[in-house]
Amino acid sequence: MKEEEIKRYQEEINELIDYINGLFNFLPIPICDLSSTFYTIQVNKAFEKLTGFDSLEITGENIEKLFPEKEKIKKIISLLQKERELQNQELILTKKKGEEIIVNTFWAARIKKEEVEGFLLAFIDITLLKRIQKEMEEEIKLKTKDLREKIIELEKFQKIAIGRELKMIELKEEIKKLREELEKLKSKQRKE
């Protein structure tokens, strides 16, 4: 290969690397590039913004630093050794200042020559969604309780109303019988 060709290929590779880095940092979803032993290699701007950790602080740290649920992380790591990809793994993430948020995580192995070279981790903050879900569930429980109470009241009213109706029917029949008896008595008196 000529030196000019090598130089051109090197420039194209550098352009491609710049493009990939630009895309990586442009993405609005926090992404973390991990080693095969789950140490942080690289993070994007969205990761820095959400967690509060800048790239230099978090690079070289084990992923367990971010997630206090150690048993869940161990289970995910174990599953990734077999599955190579996991989606919708809900975890608590601890930000730099100690605030805990709920995230939905997505994990994928990076494969090179049929060997796991590392992993990609992306996540979405679902704290607000979880809070809204909890509020909705509580509201549904309250509405359900109110409905049950109203159903009980309606059932009581129905029993009273049906009882009243039955009593009215009974009284009407009794009035009818008394009228018939009165008519019989009147007709007897007339005959006498």
Helix (H) / strand (E) element for 21: namely helix 3-26
| Same domain for 132 and 107 | no
| Number of structural domains found in the chain | 2
Q: What is the pLDDT of residues 66-108, one digit of tens each?
A: 999 999 999 998 898 888 899 999 999 999 999 999 999 999 9
| Same domain for 165 and 97 | no
Higher pLDDT: 187 or 125? It is 125
Q: What is the pTM of this model?
A: 0.70
| Same domain for 96 and 169 | no
C-alpha span between 39 and 20 (Å, rounded): 21
| Same domain for 185 and 145 | yes
Residue 145 sits in which domain range? 128-192
Mean pLDDT of 47-54: 95
What does R_g of the chain's alpha carbons equal in angstroms?
38
- In one-letter notation, the amino acid at residue 176 is K
Write down which residue in 99, 125, 151 finishes a domain: 125
- Residue keyed to tokens 């926090």: 30
Q: What is the pLDDT of residue 155?
A: 86
Write down which residue in 125, 154, 171 finishes a domain: 125
- Strand arrangement, sheet containing 31-35: 40-43, 31-35, 115-125, 100-112, 85-94
